[in-house]
Amino acid sequence: MEDFNLLEEVIDSLEQDSNVLRIKRLILFTCNDTWSNDVNEVKALQMYQLVQCLMLRFPDINLLKQKLNSHVKQLSKQSDYLLAADNIIDAIGFLYTLRDEGKLPDKFLSVKEVVENSSEPVNDNSEFDKQSTTLHERNLKYLTNLFDLRADISRDISPLHAKILLFSSLHYRFSSQERDWSALYAYDLDDLIQLVFQTYETFDALEQQLTQVSQTLDQPESAKRASTVILQTLRPFY
């Protein structure tokens, strides 16, 4: 039997934690290798979606513990973030137990449903099947360079801004609604870069889409900057 109240209690306990900003940063970092020093950006992150991301990406609690610890070791304030990691495990560990007992809402662990039921796509041509789409030959070489591409993009702009723009160009216009955060956290930046190559076979098509979409997002200047950096980085692969 599903128990919505227990899920809400766990989410609320993390939201009310005095260490909530570090908890959010650490979850974001662990799920997506994305770090944000923007306090307002971190505050805007929804704990529900962050927890959902962790459980979807790390279905085994022991694997989650390992990943949290390995990411903490990369940070300068390790003692502070070890405490955040402990708080995460204490709270979310209970959710793993509920999941195993069949007491978590099904939709909580189904990002696919969130994506499918979200807003309409930007246009009919931007829909794609993640499993069945075939890469065009000219871009096969990018497969061995994803780390470099991600690093180049992340060096000049916020990885989160890059993800939002790419996601919006592939699916539908991103907003700050809960369902959009859930859908966004289903992908890391590498995933979205791959899907861009799969979806846009010419640089002109990609440039046109990124330029148009960047003008529709909530932070158009940041989106425009992200568009410029992404296009500069990906152009050599077309």
* Claim to verify: residue 119 and residue 102 sit in the same structural domain: no
Please give the residue range of the domain that contains residue 65.
4-109
Mean pLDDT across 206-229: 93
Helices and strands (H and E) in the chain: how many: 13, 0
- Number of domains forming the structure of the chain: 2
- What are the pLDDT digits (tens) for 135-157? 334 444 444 456 678 888 888 89
Q: pTM of the entire structure?
A: 0.51
Residues 6+ apart with CB under 8 A from 167: 174, 183, 184, 187, 192
- Which of residues 83, 109, 135 is at a domain's end? 109
**148 Ramachandran zone, left/alpha/beta (phi>0; psi -120 to 50):** alpha
Mean pLDDT across 12-27: 93
* Claim to verify: residue 173 and residue 139 sit in the same structural domain: yes
DSSP secondary structure letter of residue 137: G
Length of the chain: 238
- Which of residues 50, 75, 109 is at a domain's end? 109
- Which of residues 48, 76, 109 is at a domain's end? 109
- What are the pLDDT digits (tens) for 38-82? 888 888 888 988 898 888 888 888 888 988 988 898 888 888 899
* Claim to verify: residue 168 and residue 57 sit in the same structural domain: no
- Of 86-90, 98-102, 105-109, 233-237, the range with the lowest mean pLDDT is 105-109
- What are the pLDDT digits (tens) for 94-143? 898 888 888 888 777 764 444 443 444 444 443 433 333 343 344 444 44
Higher confidence at residue 37 or residue 85?
A: 85
* Claim to verify: residue 100 and residue 59 sit in the same structural domain: yes
Residues 6+ apart with CB under 8 A from 185: 31, 32, 49, 50, 52, 53, 56, 111
* Claim to verify: residue 21 and residue 40 sit in the same structural domain: yes
* Claim to verify: residue 224 and residue 203 sit in the same structural domain: yes
* Claim to verify: residue 102 and residue 168 sit in the same structural domain: no
Answer yes or no: are the C-beta atoms of 91 and 14 closer than 8 Å: yes
* Claim to verify: residue 202 and residue 221 sit in the same structural domain: yes
